[in-house]
């Protein structure tokens, strides 16, 4: 089968973008454009090597299925869902090659299909809205799973195979979005898709999730979509519980037991799980270094782009250049509809979180934070590769957001 990727999708358009990049974004939306060209300083002198040289110590914890968010209903435990032996990365002392082609995993895809296994509370609703618009412009279809009161993030082999089989029978080109951990299509001897995802600061994700599930509109929306299957509105005590009090009183919703496999109340605190994969023994322990290292390796070898709305322009620029078949004109489409896109699934029910609480969260999310920083560094490297050795033109500043704080932590 012919590989689907950078050159197959749109070689002429992509090369033109690299010769004359337009509307490249900033390191952060609220930075002035004078800081625009200094991303290289953040990464000079670094070897971009996969951080999987540490031994993967698989914890011995035994566990039952988490019925709330993560586990499949069956008792099967996936222990070898991925090849853990494929080492990649540069050797010590080797200067990183900034050519965009070497950082672009799109060329390894074997089917004209983008798989967006979206992480909760990272702004994925906004990206799906953008992709729906781009589908009309670039000629592809987009679909998402219908959702349910309790989504299955980790699946057994049969459910993975059934999902993949369904997705690969859909007309191409196509993008599919679902809250689900990384699925290794190759393991089932099926063609590899183009993987994309978004990430967010782990502390902000915890804060966002805490208040998201305490917003009355969330339960009304669930009721409208799911009817009798929807989760009922919780108690007033639960709805009014602020995060500072929750953490200070060691409420079960706000305790972060290291290496915990099953959280009795369920939540979305494990961002690494969505990149680590379906190996429950390896990927489920909370804030696990082994899970973090596996997640890094998966991003490095499998994902075309892992972006963040914290760096909107950079993310859109990298998506445009690395996956042009699907994301050509992404910046124009985003900013023309920015008012609508920035309000998708937005939650206005939030409160100020104390520095003390943030510090406690930081101490308990060390490996989650390291993974997040790794993904951001990779995104910056991909962006730097597009502009390496080139001057930015005036057009690069056309799509800078007018407002200083374009990133809303409550989406």
Active site residues: 179
Residue with tokens 């196509």: 174
Q: Backbone phi, then psi, for 304, in 5-degree steps?
A: -70, -50
Cα distances (Å, whole numbers) of residue 149 to 178, 336, 382: 14, 33, 37
Residue with tokens 């308990």: 364
Burial of 191 (0-12, 13-18, 19+ CB in 10 A): middle
Please provide the DSSP assignment of 205-262 as one string.
Answer: HHHHHHHHTT-HHHHHHHHHHHGGGSPPP--HHHHT--HHHHHHTT-GGG---TT-S-
Q: Are 198 and 299 in contact (CB under 8 A)?
A: no
Q: State the CB neighbour count (10 A cutoff) for residue 45.
A: 8
CA 196 – CA 381 distance, rounded (Å) = 16
- DSSP code for 96: P
CA 288 – CA 279 distance, rounded (Å) = 13
Q: State the CB neighbour count (10 A cutoff) for residue 283.
A: 30
Q: Are 130 and 309 in contact (CB under 8 A)?
A: no
Q: Is the peptide bond before 173 cis (omega within 30 degrees of 0)?
A: yes
Q: State the CB neighbour count (10 A cutoff) for residue 25.
A: 24
CA 119 – CA 103 distance, rounded (Å) = 22
Q: Backbone phi, then psi, for 213, in 5-degree steps?
A: -80, 5
Angle at 297 between CA 296 and CA 302, to 5 degrees: 110
């Amino acid at each position: 089968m012919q590989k689907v990727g950078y050159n197959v999708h749109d070689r002429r358009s992509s090369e033109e973008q690299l010769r004359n990049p337009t509307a490249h974004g900033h390191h952060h939306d609220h930075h002035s454009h004078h800081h625009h060209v200094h991303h290289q300083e953040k990464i000079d002198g670094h070897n971009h090597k996969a951080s999987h040289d540490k031994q993967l110590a698989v914890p011995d914890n035994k566990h039952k299925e988490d019925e709330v968010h993560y586990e499949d209903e069956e008792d099967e435990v996936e222990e070898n869902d991925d090849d853990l032996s494929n080492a990649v990365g540069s050797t010590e002392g080797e200067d990183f090659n900034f050519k965009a082609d070497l950082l672009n995993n799109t060329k390894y895809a074997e089917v004209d299909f983008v798989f967006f296994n979206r992480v909760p509370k990272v702004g994925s609703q906004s990206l799906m809205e953008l992709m729906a618009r781009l589908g009309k412009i670039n000629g592809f279809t987009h679909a998402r799973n219908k959702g349910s009161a309790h989504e299955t993030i980790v699946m057994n082999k049969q459910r993975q195979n059934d999902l993949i089989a369904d997705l690969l029978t859909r007309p191409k080109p196509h993008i599919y979005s679902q809250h689900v951990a990384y699925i290794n299509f190759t393991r089932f001897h099926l063609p590899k898709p183009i993987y994309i995802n978004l990430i967010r600061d782990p502390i902000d994700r915890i804060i966002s999730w805490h208040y998201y599930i305490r917003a009355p509109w969330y339960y009304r929306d669930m009721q409208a979509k799911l009817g009798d299957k929807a989760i009922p509105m919780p108690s007033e005590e639960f709805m009014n519980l602020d995060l500072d009090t929750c953490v200070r009183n060691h409420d079960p919703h706000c305790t972060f037991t290291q290496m915990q496999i099953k959280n009795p109340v369920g939540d979305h605190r494990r961002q690494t799980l969505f990149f680590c994969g379906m190996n429950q023994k390896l990927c489920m322990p909370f804030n696990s270094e082994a899970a973090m290292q596996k997640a890094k390796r998966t991003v490095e070898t499998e994902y075309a782009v892992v972006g963040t709305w914290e760096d909107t322009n950079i993310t859109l620029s990298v998506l445009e250049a690395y996956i042009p078949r699907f994301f050509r004109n992404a910046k124009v489409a985003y900013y023309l509809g920015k008012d609508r896109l920035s309000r998708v699934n937005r939650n206005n029910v939030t409160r100020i979180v104390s520095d003390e609480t943030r510090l406690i969260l930081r101490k308990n999310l060390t490996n989650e934070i390291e993974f997040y920083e790794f993904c951001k560094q990779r995104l910056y490297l991909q962006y730097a590769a597009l502009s390496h050795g080139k001057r930015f033109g005036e057009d690069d500043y056309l799509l800078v957001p007018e407002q200083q704080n374009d990133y809303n932590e409550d989406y």
